[in-house]
Amino acid sequence: MSQAFARLRQPLRAASRQIARPSTRNATPTFRASFRRFNSTEAPKPPKSNTGLYAGIAGGALLAGIGFYYYSQGMNPLTAAKSGAQAAKVATNFVPSKEDYQKVYNRIAELLDEAEDYDDGSYGPVVLRLAWHSSGTYDKDTNTGGSNYATMRFEPEALHGANAGLHVARELMEKVKQEFPWISYGDLWTLGGVAAVQEMGGPKIPWRPGRVDGTAEKATPDGRLPDASQGADHLRNIFYRMGFNDQEIVALSGAHALGRCHRDRSGFEGPWTFSPITLTNDYFRLLFDETWVWRKWDGPKQLQDKSTRSLMMLPTDYVLVQDKSFKKYAKQYADDQDLFFKDFANVVSRLFELGVPSEQFVTKEPWIMKNADEKDE
């Protein structure tokens, strides 16, 4: 089985691309990909049929598949996870190690760069958006949603407006799933998010496996993800429900340094920074340094920078410099990229674990996965 997992790393990684003009900030990392903003969605057409993607995990030799089988027989997730792992060990004498998950990471990192004709040249943004949207449905009051169960595989959650276009990421991750069938979709998608952040030059994101795949009955209702047209109260309602505070809301918003919106997808249009495939604190610095005016056009309400009119901010972005509490943290991150990276890593790690009982994780302490450029060191 291990031979099937071996993959050769492409000798050259896709170079970062910049738009409009070089950023006025020093972007230290080189290999980046664009992160899609909260509501920057793909074309609103229904995802194409993905029978293989939505099907239950089959095969007695598959760790996640066996776990799903036990779960479907009525066991709780913890029992299903443990039973699946034990059955896999007995049936195949294979229990995935950190090194096995590193191989999955490496393969994801390869695929992120195979996107010459996709947006700014990387699948990183849409893969990170998949990890975020599959985790951000968590409701702490009802203990529902989150990255456990990977319910975006099923309708109607797969067809929610906020998830439009994520079939691109799910299909990409399905390629990895076919090569590493033992990994659960929840672990795969969140590990993809980790790879996207790190390969885009962001901080190391602590991560650990243990999510199990559930059934369609666990799918979450629509409306649990942010609406870009709203204000501070809306952001707090959405993120407080997940268990985050104001500082963590602002830190997560810093991912908007990456990516762009598309008029034919979310309705909004344009990138947030001049380096949309480089994770820096430029998003925060531009919020304070640029003059932002409301764009006059026939699309939804958004702002543009006065100097070049090539950048955009959304209502949910602009509230970070209007709301007193949000503004305090946004200014800290504008002044200190290291602080932003530290807080961003912590909150993203928490985000990716929402909805997963701690007993399910296979290791007490999260792992730090090597970047693709470090894997041979």
Q: Tell me which range, 35-39, 41-45, 124-128, 259-263, is most confidently predicted by mean pLDDT.
A: 124-128
Q: Identify the residue with better confidence: 277 or 240.
A: 240
Q: Which residue has the tokens 């970047």?
A: 371
Among 125, 37, 25, residue whose Cα is nearest residue 302: 37
Distance between CA atoms of residues 164 and 174, nearest Å: 17
Q: Tell me which range, 34-43, 53-62, 109-118, is most confidently predicted by mean pLDDT.
A: 109-118
In the prediction, which pLDDT does 304 show?
97
Contact residues for 179 (Cβ-Cβ < 8 A; gap 6+)? 4, 5, 7, 107
Q: Please provide the average confidence, as pLDDT, over all residues in the chain.
A: 82
Residue 79, phi then psi, degrees to nearest 5: -65, -40
Distance between CA atoms of residues 37 and 40, nearest Å: 5
Q: C-alpha distances in angstroms, 351 versus 135, 136, 239?
A: 6, 7, 10
Contact indicator for 134, 220 with CB cutoff of 8 Å: no
Contact residues for 333 (Cβ-Cβ < 8 A; gap 6+)? 250, 251, 254, 281, 284, 339, 340, 343
Residue 254 included in any domain: yes
Whether the predicted pLDDT of 65 surpasses 70: no
Residue 348 included in any domain: yes
Residue 161 included in any domain: yes
Contact indicator for 11, 29 with CB cutoff of 8 Å: no
Average pLDDT over residues 167-179: 96
Q: Identify the residue with better confidence: 330 or 28.
A: 330
In the prediction, which pLDDT does 267 show?
87
Distance between CA atoms of residues 363 and 350, nearest Å: 15
Residue 277 included in any domain: yes
Whether the predicted pLDDT of 14 surpasses 50: no
| Residue positions annotated with a catalytic role | 133, 272
Average pLDDT over residues 173-196: 98
Give 17-80 as a DSSP string: ---SS--SS--------PPPPTT----SSPPPP-HHHHSPP--TT-HHHHHHHHHHTT--HHHH
The band of 205, judged by pLDDT with boundaries at 50, 70 and 90, is very high
In the prediction, which pLDDT does 90 show?
46
Average pLDDT over residues 32-45: 38
Distance between CA atoms of residues 333 and 314, nearest Å: 19
In the prediction, which pLDDT does 314 show?
97
Whether the predicted pLDDT of 331 surpasses 70: yes
**Burial level of 332, CB count in 10 A (0-12/13-18/19+)?**
middle
Least confident of 229-238, 273-282, 303-312, 352-361: 273-282
Q: Identify the residue with better confidence: 221 or 48.
A: 221
In the prediction, which pLDDT does 92 show?
62
Average pLDDT over residues 52-63: 40
Domain count, the chain: 1
Report the percentage of the chain scoring pLDDT > 90: 65
Residue 25 included in any domain: no
Q: C-alpha distances in angstroms, 196 versus 79, 134, 274?
A: 31, 15, 19
Q: Identify the residue with better confidence: 158 or 45.
A: 158
Whether the predicted pLDDT of 20 surpasses 90: no
The band of 265, judged by pLDDT with boundaries at 50, 70 and 90, is confident
| pLDDT tens string 72-112 | 445 555 545 544 444 554 456 789 999 999 999 999 999 99
In the prediction, which pLDDT does 76 show?
55
In the prediction, which pLDDT does 91 show?
57
Domain harbouring 299, CATH code: 1.10.520.10
Residue 8 included in any domain: no
Residue 6 included in any domain: no
| pTM of model > 0.85 | no
User: Residue 40 belongs to what domain range?
Assistant: 31-371
In the prediction, which pLDDT does 376 show?
65
Estimate to the nearest angstrom the gap between the alpha carbon of 53 and the chain centroid: 18
Residue 297 included in any domain: yes
Average pLDDT over residues 150-166: 92
Least confident of 68-82, 293-307, 324-338: 68-82
**Burial level of 107, CB count in 10 A (0-12/13-18/19+)?**
buried
Whether the predicted pLDDT of 11 surpasses 80: no
